[in-house]
Amino acid sequence: MPQHDNDSGTGSPTASGTSTTTEVDLALGASYRLVEVVGRGAMGEVWRAVDRRTDEPVAAKVLRAEHVADRDLVGRFVQERSVLVNLRDPHLVAVRDLVVEGDRLAIVMDYVGGGSLRDVARERRTLPPALALGVVRDVLLGLAEAHDQRLVHRDIKPDNVLLAPGWEELGTGAVRLTDFGIARIVQEGPSTTTGLLGTPEYMSPELISNGVAGPPSDIYGVGVLLYELLAGRTPFAGPGTDYTIAHRHVSNQVPVLPVADELSGVLARMLSKDPRERPGAREAAAQMDKLIPTLAHHQALEPQAAPEDFAPSQGPVTVVRGLSKAEPDEPVEEPGERLALADMDLGAPGSATVVRPMERKVAPRRHVAVDEETPKPPWWKDVRILAGIAGTILLVAGVLVVVQMGGGSAKAKDGGDGGPVNASVSDQSALPTGLRTARSAEYDPETGTATLTVTFAAQAAPLSGPFLVVIPGLGKTCPTLNWTEGKATMNAPSTGITTACAWSVDPGPIEAQGNVTATAEVRLGSIDDDAQTAVNDWLQKGLDATTSAVSDSETSSVAYPAQRLTDIQVSTPQQVVSGRPLPVTLVPVWPNGPDKLNPLYKSPSVQNPSGLLDAVAGGEDGVSFSDGCNGGLLVSNGGHSVTALSASDNCVLDARVGNFASLKSEPFTIANRGG
Angle in degrees, CA 56, 148, 186, rounded to 5: 65
Query: Is 12 in contact with 3 (CB distance < 8 Å)?
Result: yes
Residues 6+ apart with CB under 8 A from 580: 643, 644
CA distances from 622 to 462, 583, 609, 612 (A): 8, 18, 11, 12
Cα separation, 136 vs 493, in Å, equals 26
Q: In what order do the strands lie in the sheet with 653-657?
A: 623-627, 653-657, 660-664
Q: How many CB atoms lie within 10 A of CB 436?
A: 19
Cα separation, 502 vs 497, in Å, equals 9
Q: Is 649 part of the annotated catalytic residue set?
A: no
Half-sphere exposure of 60 (CA within 13 A, CB side): 28
Query: Is 482 in contact with 558 (CB distance < 8 Å)?
Result: no
What are the binding residues for ATP?
A: 61
Angle in degrees, CA 435, 440, 444, rounded to 5: 160
Strand 467-470 and strand 502-506: the pairing is antiparallel
Query: Is 632 in contact with 645 (CB distance < 8 Å)?
Result: yes
> Residue 92 gets which letter from DSSP?
B
Q: Out of 89, 155, 595, 614, which one is annotated catalytic?
A: 155
Residues 6+ apart with CB under 8 A from 363: 323, 485, 486, 487, 507, 508, 516, 518
Residues 6+ apart with CB under 8 A from 12: 1, 2, 3, 4, 39, 41, 46, 59, 61, 116, 159, 160, 162, 178, 179
Q: 198: which strand partners?
A: 354
Q: Residue 621: helix, strand or coil by DSSP?
A: helix
Cα separation, 379 vs 234, in Å, equals 54
Cα separation, 109 vs 112, in Å, equals 9
| Burial grade of 417 (CB within 10 A; 0-12, 13-18, 19 or more) | exposed
Cα separation, 662 vs 155, in Å, equals 40
CA distances from 293 to 82, 83, 167, 288, 675 (A): 39, 36, 18, 9, 65
Half-sphere exposure of 407 (CA within 13 A, CB side): 9
Of 408, 414, 473, nearest to 444 by C-alpha is 414
Kindly report whether the peptide bond that precedes residue 466 is cis, defined as omega within 30 degrees of 0: yes
Cα separation, 536 vs 529, in Å, equals 13
Residues 6+ apart with CB under 8 A from 473: 479, 501, 524
Query: Is 636 in contact with 621 (CB distance < 8 Å)?
Result: no
Half-sphere exposure of 85 (CA within 13 A, CB side): 12
Handedness of CA 307, 308, 312, 314 (dihedral sign): negative
Catalytic residues: 155
